Chains A and B, each alone.
Chain A
Amino acid sequence: MKKILVILSMLFCVQSLDAQVKVNDVVDDDYVRNSVSVIVVNRGDSYDARIFSMAGGLGFGEKFDKNEIPTDRILIKADRKNSVETELITSSLEREGVGKEIISYWFQRDASGMMSDELILKRGMYSVRDQEILNSQVSKVGISALGEKGYDLVKGSYVYVLDYYNLKENTKDKSYSAELKASIYQLVCSEEVMEQLYEAWIYNEDSPEVVAQKNALYDSLVFPMEYVTTVEASGSSSTSLGEAVNNAFSQAFYRSEKAVDDWNVTSSIISTRPIKAKIGTKEGVTNGQRFQVHKIVEDRHGNLDSKSVGYVRATEVANNSNVATGDTEPSCFYQISGLKIEEGMILKQKNDLKMGVTVAGGFGGYSPFEIGLEFLSHINTKGTSRYVMLDVGIGGDSYNDLSVSYIVPAIGMGIAVRPIRPVEIMPFIQIGMDILSTVSIANIDYKLTDWSSYVGRVGARASWQVVYPIQIFAQAEAAVNFGAGSYYAFYNDIMLAVGKGHEQAVAGFSFGVKVNF
C-alpha cells in the first residue's frame, strides 16, 4: 500500500511539473526583434579566404539587425573533412571576447571609452509596436521615450558561427557541395551585467583619472555568450562552390529558425475577413510562409495554456519597414487548416518547406503509378495557389519474351482555386519525357532521345483535405506523346500491335494522396 502511495505521489509530482512546463510554453504576441553577428570558422587552409568572402554575402534579411563586430572569423586549425567540435568554438568566442564586442557595438563604444545609446534608441524606436505608440500618447513620458525599448533588445543579441566542411569541388563534372555546422550563441545580458556596464559609463565631466578607472573597469568586465543550439545543413550546386555554400546556409537558416523559439515571429490577429496581422517585411514575412494560430485558455486555477487552432499562410505581405505610427499596415493571410479563427488570437511563425509529396495510382493514362513533388510558389488572400510540379510515372508491359518499362518524368505548373477551404481544384499543364527501356538495352549504344518520346499533359485535380497536412485527390488528364525516338517507336509499336504500349493520345484518371510538409 505504501509503495502504491509513493508511486502515486511521484506520478502526481511529474504531472505537476509537466503542467508548470506548459505554463512556460504559453505563446504570446510579444515577439521582439533580434540581432545577429556572423562569424566564420577558418581552418588555416586554402579555402579560408574563399569561404569567408562567400559567407560575407549571406544575409539574414530584414528580420534581424546586424551587429558589426570586429571578430568576423575565428581560426581553429583542423582538417576540413569534419566539423569542429562545439567546445572549441565556445572557447574561441570566449578568448576573442565576442560578448564584449557586441556590447561595445550596441553602445557604440569608441577608442577613448566613450559610449552612446544612440543605436539602442534608434533600434528601440524601429521595433516599437502600434500598441506602444497608443499607450505612449496617453502617458506623461510620451513617444520620445519609446526608444528605451532598445535596452530590451540587447538581450536578443546572437552570434551565428558558420563552420563549412567536407567541401567538394569537381569542376570537370560540375559538381560542388558543402556541409555546414551552424552554432548559435546568445549574449547573456542579466541586470547585473548591465549594472556593471553602467558603472563603467564615462561622462563628459569625468576627470582623466576617473576615465582611466572606468576604462580599466570596462576592460575587466566579462560579457558571456551562452550556447543555444547547433544545426547541420548541406548544399550542392552544378555551377559553383559559392552556390553550394549559399544553399547550405539557406538550409541552416531555415532549421535555425525552427530551433530557436525566440526567432519565431508572433503577432495577434486584428481581423478575420480576411485574416490580418500587423507584421510584414520588417519581420521577414514572405508569401506562402506558414504560421500556426493559437488561442489562450485559462483554467479555473488561473493557469494559462495556448491551444492550436489551425494554420495560415501569408498572402499579401505589407511593407512595414519603417517606424510604427500607431496605424501600421497589416499583412493578409489565408487559413489552410483548422477551426474558426477569431480576432485577438495569436499567430506564431511555423516554417515549412511549402512542399507536398503525392502518390497516385490510376488507369487510362501513361502511368498506372505516379509519385510527385509539388512546391507552393504563390498564394493569394482568396487561397488561389500556384504550384510547381515534378512528377514521375512508372509503368511497364510485356509480351512473350519482350518486357518493357516506361518512366515518365514531367514538370509543370498548376493553379489551384478553393471554392471552400478544404477543397482545391487545380488545372495543370506538364511537359516531360516518356522513357522506354527493355532488358536488351545493355547491348545497344544508349542515347536517351532514341529511347524516349516527349509527353504533353493537361489535366485537373480535385483535392479534399482530410486532416492537415493530408489531402486525398482525384485527377483527370489527357496526354499526348510526340517526337518518339527510333528505339522507343520500335518497341512501343510492338506493344501497341498487341493492344499494349503507349498510344499517341490518352485520357486517364487517377486517385492519390498528398502530404504537405
Chain B
Amino acid sequence: MKKSLLHIVIALLVALPVSLFGQSKREIKSLMESFENYEVTTVKVAVDGTKFVKVWGYGKKVDDAIVQAKKNAVHASLFRGLPGMESAMATPPIFKDPNAFDNNKDYFIDFFLTGGEYIKYINVTTDGVPSGQDRRQVRGGYKVALYVQVMFDNLRDKMEADGLVNKLSTGF
C-alpha cells in the first residue's frame, strides 16, 4: 500500500512541473505540427500598420481550432509572410531567416502559449463563431477559418524590442 502511494507521489512530481510551469511535450509537438500546415489569405487592404487575413486552424474541438487559427495568423506574419491579392502586394515575413523559429524556440514556445503574448497582436473580426463553410468537420476534429486583423507593425516592434530582429533603421 505504502509502495503504491509512493509511486503515485513520484508520478505526480514528474508530471506537475510540466503541466504547471509550461506546455507539455505533447502540446509543444502539436503546436509545431500545426504550424507546418495551414492556409492563410489576405482579405482586403487593411488600415495602416495592420494586415487583414483569413486564416485556418485545426483542432479537436471548434474552440481549439479557433485558438490555433489565431496563432497561425501571427505565425504567418512572423515566419511565412502573407500572400497578396488583386489590390494588395504580398507581405514578406518579419523574419527573413527560415530558421528563426528554431533558433529562438524557447522564446516562441512561450510566445505562442495559449492566451500568451501573441494574442496582443490580433483582433478577430469574425462575426460570432466561424460558420458555414468556414466551419468544417474533418476527420478527428474541426477546421475553421477566422477573419483576423494582425497588428503587423506592433508585432515587428515587439520582435525588435526583444532583440530578435534588427530594427528597420539599422544600416541607414
Is there a chain A Cβ closer than 8 Å to B121's Cβ?
A: no
With A131-B126, A131-B127 already in contact, the answer to whether A139 and B137 are too (CB < 8 A) is no
B130 contact set on A, CB distance < 8 A: 344
Chain A residues contacting B139 (CB-CB under 8 Å) are: 299-300
Instruction: Please tell me if the beta carbons of B149 and A270 are within 8 angstroms of each other in the complex.
Output: no
Contact pattern, B 29-59, Cβ under 8 Å of A = 1, otherwise 0: 0000000000000011111101010000000
- Closest-by-CB residue of B relative to A324 is B127
B115 at the interface (CB under 8 A from A): no
Q: Is the CB of A297 within 8 A of B136?
A: yes
> Cβ of B135: which chain A residues have Cβ within 8 Å of it?
296, 344-345
Whether A134 touches B127, Cβ cut-off 8 Å, given contacts A141-B44, A296-B133, A298-B136, is yes
- Report the bound CA distance from A300 to B139 in whole Å: 7
In the complex, are the beta carbons of A139 and B44 less than 8 A apart?
A: yes
Closest chain A CB from B136 CB (angstroms): 4
Interface size on B, residues (CB 8 A): 29
Interface pair A135/B132, CB less than 8 Å apart = no
Q: Chain B: which residue is nearest A276 at the CB level?
A: B128
Cβ-defined contact, B128 with A270, below 8 A: yes
Which chain B residue lies CB-closest to A297?
B137
User: Chain B residue with minimal CB distance to A268?
Assistant: B131
Q: How far is the CB of B147 from chain A (nearest CB, A)?
A: 6
Binds B, one of A23-31, A193-201, A465-473: A23-31
Count A interface residues, CB 8 Å.
34
Indicate if the CB atoms of B129 and A131 lie closer than 8 Å.
Answer: no
Q: Which one of B52, B136, B138 has the greatest number of beta carbons of chain A within 10 Å?
A: B136
B24 within 8 A of A: no
Q: Are A131 and B147 in contact, CB atoms less than 8 angstroms apart?
A: yes
| Bound complex: CA A29 to CA B133 (Å) | 8
**Interface pair B44/A140, CB less than 8 Å apart:** yes
- In the complex, how many angstroms separate the beta carbon of B39 from the nearest chain A beta carbon? 11
Kindly state whether residue A346 has any CB partner on chain B within 8 Å. yes
Q: Does the CB pair B149–A138 fall under 8 Å? A: yes
Question: Residues of A contacting B138 with CB < 8 Å?
Answer: 297-298, 300
Select the residue from B45, B62, B128, B135 with max chain A CB neighbours within 10 A: B128
Answer whether residue A295 sits at the interface, using C-beta atoms and an 8 A cutoff. yes
Contact A135 B137 (CB under 8 A): no
Task: Say yes or no for B154: interface residue by CB 8 A criterion.
Answer: no
Contacts of A345 in B (CB 8 A): 131, 135
Bound state CA distance, A278 and B131, in angstroms?
12
Closest A residue by C-beta to B45: A140
Q: Is the CB of B44 within 8 A of A135?
A: yes
Task: Please determine whether A140 and B46 come into contact, CB atoms closer than 8 angstroms.
Answer: yes
**Contacts known (A130-B127, A131-B127, A131-B147); A139 close to B43, Cβ less than 8 A:** yes
Residue of B nearest to A134 (CB): B125
Is there an interface contact between B133 and A139, defined as CB atoms closer than 8 Å? no
Interface status of B103 (Cβ within 8 A of chain A): no
Cβ of A212 within 8 Å of any chain B Cβ, yes or no, is no
User: For window 22-67 of chain A, which residues contact chain B by CB distance below 8 Å?
Assistant: 26, 28-30
- Within 8 Å by CB of A295, from B137, B144, B149, lies B137
Q: Which chain B residue shows the least CB distance to A298?
A: B136
Q: Which residues of A contact B128 (CB under 8 A)?
A: 268, 270-271, 343-344
Known: A268-B132, A270-B129. A344 touches B46 (CB 8 A): no
A138 to B148, CA, bound (A): 9
Q: For residue A307, which residue of chain B has the nearest CB?
A: B137
Distance (whole angstroms) from the CB of A422 to the closest CB of chain B: 25
Contacting pair B132 A140 (CB below 8 A):
no
- Asked if A143 is at the interface of the complex by the 8 Å CB criterion, the answer is no
Which residues 91-135 of B have a CB within 8 angstroms of A?
Answer: 123, 125-135
Q: Which residue of B52, B127, B143, B147 contacts A298 across the interface (Cβ within 8 Å)?
A: B143
Shortest distance from the beta carbon of A228 to any chain B beta carbon, whole Å: 24
Most buried by A among B44, B126, B131, B139: B131
Nearest B residue to A30, CB-CB: B132
Smallest beta-carbon distance B163→chain A, Å: 30
The reply on A137 being an interface residue by CB < 8 A is yes
A300 shortest CB reach to chain B, Å: 6
> A336 contacts the other chain (Cβ, under 8 Å)?
no
A343 to B52, CA, bound (A): 24
Residues on B with C-beta less than 8 A from A140 are: 44-48
- Once the chains bind, are A298 and B137 in contact (CB under 8 Å)? yes
B138 to chain A, nearest CB (A): 5
Q: Which residue of A lies closest to B138 (CB)?
A: A298
Choice from B44, B50, B127, B133 contacting A28 with Cβ under 8 Å:
B133
Report Cα–Cα, A29/B131, bound state, in Å. 8
A138 adjacent to B123 (CB under 8 Å): yes
Chain B minimum-CB-distance residue to A295: B137
In the bound complex, residues from chain A placing their C-beta under 8 Å from that of B147 are: 131, 134-135
Q: Apart from A135-B44, A138-B125, A296-B132, list 19 A-B contacts with CB within 8 A.
A: A28-B132, A130-B127, A131-B126, A131-B147, A135-B52, A136-B44, A138-B47, A138-B52, A138-B123, A139-B45, A140-B44, A296-B133, A296-B136, A298-B136, A300-B138, A343-B131, A345-B131, A346-B131, A346-B132
Q: Could you list 27 A-B pairs, sorted by A, with CB under 8 Å?
A: A28-B133, A30-B132, A129-B127, A134-B126, A134-B147, A137-B125, A138-B46, A138-B47, A138-B50, A138-B125, A139-B45, A140-B46, A140-B47, A140-B48, A266-B132, A268-B131, A295-B137, A296-B135, A296-B136, A342-B62, A343-B128, A343-B131, A344-B62, A344-B130, A344-B132, A344-B135, A346-B132
The 5 closest A-B pairs by CB, nearest first: A268-B131, A29-B132, A139-B44, A344-B135, A344-B131
